[in-house]
Structure 1
């Protein structure tokens, strides 16, 4: 479940140097002699999160690295951009395909090193620095900086291209090689609080230092100079025991939980320091770190599209507000102008007389504006009609302000009353046009807002989250389906997997299927319980095997298919003949079946991602969206393929596809199928169905052009 890191009171926000020691130990145990398959950059604000895909003795492994916070194997599916940055392109050039000789920590510092075998000379190093904002440095066999994410000059060293890579000066004494005399002498030479001295002098970090004090039962704030020799010996022995425990790999990795059962910290060992907290123990420290940080990554990685959508919505809402304000303003101008125009027509004689009086005094008698104003005020006192409507003169504008029935407005002294009225009526007409234009624009803006609201709701609804891929069962490395009669059918993906299925997984009671064409998937019906295999399962397997053959790529409508028993399969060719990898000798009679029509179903099934079991999503139960801890259940969209008769028993969200030379290529077809899945999903399922992996779809669709078939 995604959690905002800023909304939690965390006791730990990044890995410590002790954590790096444990993580390096676990990483090396798996990755030693493995290979780097590829490197990706996970979208993030600073562009520093890397995803490294590796092949190890334990199978494929993904490593997530955020040099500001953590490194660990991850079981979550992280997004990667369609095109690599220049930095990633360069890293791939020099790291992709390289063997990993070992993974280790430099001393006890916050530095982790991937030592990579070089085709010539000394090994190269990929160095991750977990301090100063984090950095990645690729160092060649001569310890020269070949490339780095950030080049910089510092007080005690510099990271520059084609210059020697220098490790930062280590802080404190190296605890791995320390003895009691050196440790105690160092304490005796120090002054200050015990916990600070241990953390600073021996480079173990604040939490580990506090744990030492806790286990030694000595107040962490004790002044070092006040400690007795016995107390110093106790502190040394406590520290030594903790270090030896780590060196002997006596780990007890756990998440530290708050009262709401939400992880707020993590440690590689059980800490007395957090005895008041609950904890959740996991098998490895990598799993602990992975689960802890994945809770925060969803918001940080996927919030960008939501914020962009919200920004567009807010912008249109501001535009609408201004348009509505403009309509109100124009309405007021129009109403005021019409009122003024009507009043002028009611007082034309007085207005014309006032205008003529003012302009005669100005032009003919050459009086100043001040003199004219005084004359009019005197006329007002004498109750002269044209003077009664006078208010004041605007000299620069050559205008007069009059007051008619408590309404004040300006008139042009160079124009007659009727001309002034016409100007005011024209103003009303312009205001009306503006009202009409603004209303039309506001209608368009309202439509944009409604559309943007729908888009925003859609963006929020499909906001991706990090999902943990359920642990793969052995057969999921191959093509597979469950038949209508609940038999497992397993098929090869290529020559190597065809070979593996026959050598490692085919038993004496199984059935072996193959199309009578080159380039086909070997399929077996698993029958470990030696049951009678029903005709329906045989037909479904024949259909499945035919679809994953070259017949599909050729666009055929059907294909010859046969099955035999395991004892009829041999890898021993005749003398002088050579048998290609993934090919077999079939002895005896082949049981040919009616040519199956080439059509296969592709579907998606939601399984629980919280409990890693096959519990299906239930949209009919309001409480089904929460687990026992009150957290939102997560469902992983598993992509399935199989004959329609078998697939529809697994899921109701599927499409039929058939080969077609004029059909869509696999990648375009996968996107179209995903659109169908989302459209067919129930409202409560859409959020999860949208997370279906396009790569998984591409991987499961038979090779060759195809089209979605109508029922």
Structure 2
């Protein structure tokens, strides 16, 4: 979920659970952290549910511990909302905004962007706002009328609407889809991946509008299938398959709600102090709002000037004739008053029939109209530049945020892959997906290493490291081959044994035969393959010591564990249940155990 739910996540949740939430009554409200609330809702046929509303994460069915004494804010919300019936739940403008219509003319608004907001509205007037803010074109404050931010809703745009947005964009197609069409980064990349298009193509050069609309519609429909896909390496829980990641999901949940709940339980977000880069992003976002407002203002001025050229001519002539007398609040004629003047630059701002107009009175009316339109275009260009700056800042900040969320212990480079140390202390590395299958060979296979692969299609590329002067021992090679088989499809298939082979580095190539193609993560093997047969399907899990740190390790052979050692085999127990059982026995984190387990179901056969 990457800290905040995306527009697609909210779209999926609202569509999947609208019928389940509508008709429920709000029974209790708890403030469970500074910006998180738990709404206990009840309906006779679905009983009590806990609806989790987080300003920084989003909305989900999720149980959390509630305080014994309610906060003042919780009491305020209870006084307004308790025992109200939820008539409907909806998303606003395909944005990260959830709305709930309640009985008695009350609405709840959850905004999940920037610092987030929780707003209560009655009869279209804001009665409560967690964050009261005011911008040029929008105000969130008690007593004011609520209006959402301006945004383009891709579910309502026609072909011409799409064309106009892309045509007027100076950014790449992926940046434009992510920001101007509210798709967010992951959905934008997925759309382009499924269309087999380069994401860096300029949006203005894109022509397959109908294909784009069709693919977006297909992804939206897919998100309503109510499934959750966990991509652990990328820290994502998604309502759709993300093929552009080019890896299989770590888990597929039967419902999107289960996926969200699992993520919130197992990957809690720790409190992170706002970094300088985050402050910069927030500052740029405020600038974008200001640029939007000014661009729109100058566009309206240009339209007004060209619609009233004769009147503007009269204003300019009057200013010229009375230039030495003009000051602020000077009435040029009825309905036209000076707001500001700069004689040195021949500029004057006036209010004319209720419209604020900036004029250069040494220019013709039509020239002033063109100047206003050019100012509008200039601010629009600044928006494009600011959006690119935000994308770049976010790319830089994501790795930092992930590092902040990790546990206190040091994480070693080899933990990016499947790994273990053999009985003879050789390091074995195996890929987890196409990307790491490619990387483990390209980056880490050296002259005295060996390449290992299970005798099955789709198995991970595995290498067993030698030293600077010698190759791994025969014993280490056998263990590496057994490891490769255990992390292949043989494990979920329930096989009791399997086969693998090893080759030298010079036999591994990316060069295909004429007319053939080698996909990402795959390799061409030339020459003799050295096979090992009847490799047993079992693994041992324990905790090993490395560079002063105690880390969970999984190995095909027993090893000296810092505590108990657990032997597992292919079985019928679900992966998450096995992980919980092992976590309790080894007294370590669930996340670390899940990261090293083989795919599919297993059984604990022995505890040593």
Larger Rg: 1 or 2?
A: 1
Q: Which has the higher contact order (CA 8 A, sep 6+)?
A: 1
Determine if the TM-score, normalized by the shorter chain, exceeds 0.5.
no
Structure with greater helix share of residues: 1
Structure 1 length-normalised TM: 0.38
